Amino acid sequence: MAEKNAIIIGATSGIGRHLATVLAADGWHLGITGRREALLQEFADEVSTPVHTAVMDVAQTAEAMETLESLIDTMGGVDLMVVNAGVGFANFKIDWEPEKNTIDVNVTGFAAMANVAMRHFTARGSGHLVGISSLAGLRGMRGAPAYNASKAFVINYLESLRHHAMKKNLNIDITDIRPGFVDTPMTKGQKGMFWVATPEVAAGQIYSAIKAKKRVAYITRRWRIMAWIARLMPDFLWYRG
């Protein structure tokens, strides 16, 4: 079997770390990034597959883009890029700093990482870009305005990149992963959660979607029902929630 190289951006915990475990078990050579060097090295020491680590804060876009390009070169190119880095805050008072942080990471940082991936795959002649958006990106909600809006950006940006690749006849697959509630540090302590998936189950379904080269996948799959309801719900009902 030919060597398979993948990079997961945001792999220190939660979905990213568990997806890295799934890929490693299936023989992928990995590049993993995150802000916490100790956690990256801890993962590298746990698995038998080759792992390259890079400390990166996607909000520092210029430095992050250089770091990602260097990691790609070190690995001799990659077949799969998963942009998982993201933050989310409850912000009922709409304080500016949480909003700005969310935009810096989830919007600017995401676009920067996707840009590097697209340029690499275009030059290489093939590749698979996976972005982690959210069911929250389908409609705006009180409590975390920037988070919902940032995930709407990710959804639209991935669709735009897919359209670009198709029009240019580029051999680049693009998958939009839309999780519902997953038991991760980001969701810890949230009230009113239901259909909560373990990160292990979420990672398994994400990998299935990657292998199937799906354009859009809801994680877990039952959240497709809620996506349908959210789209069709009239405004007067939505705003009562």
φ and ψ of 78, to 5 deg: -135, 155
Q: Report the C-alpha gap between 148 and 136 in whole angstroms.
A: 5
Task: Please enumerate, as own/partner, the contacts of 49-53 that have beta carbons within 8 Å and a separation of 24 or more.
Answer: 49/24, 51/24
Amino acid in the structure at residue 179 = P
Q: In what order do the strands lie in the sheet with 5-9?
A: 51-55, 29-34, 5-9, 80-83, 127-132, 172-179, 216-219
Q: Report the C-alpha gap between 220 and 223 in whole angstroms.
A: 6
Instruction: Please give the structure tokens belonging to residue 43.
Output: 């993962």
Is residue 218 flagged as an active site residue?
Answer: no
Q: Looking at the annotation, which residues are catalytic?
A: 147
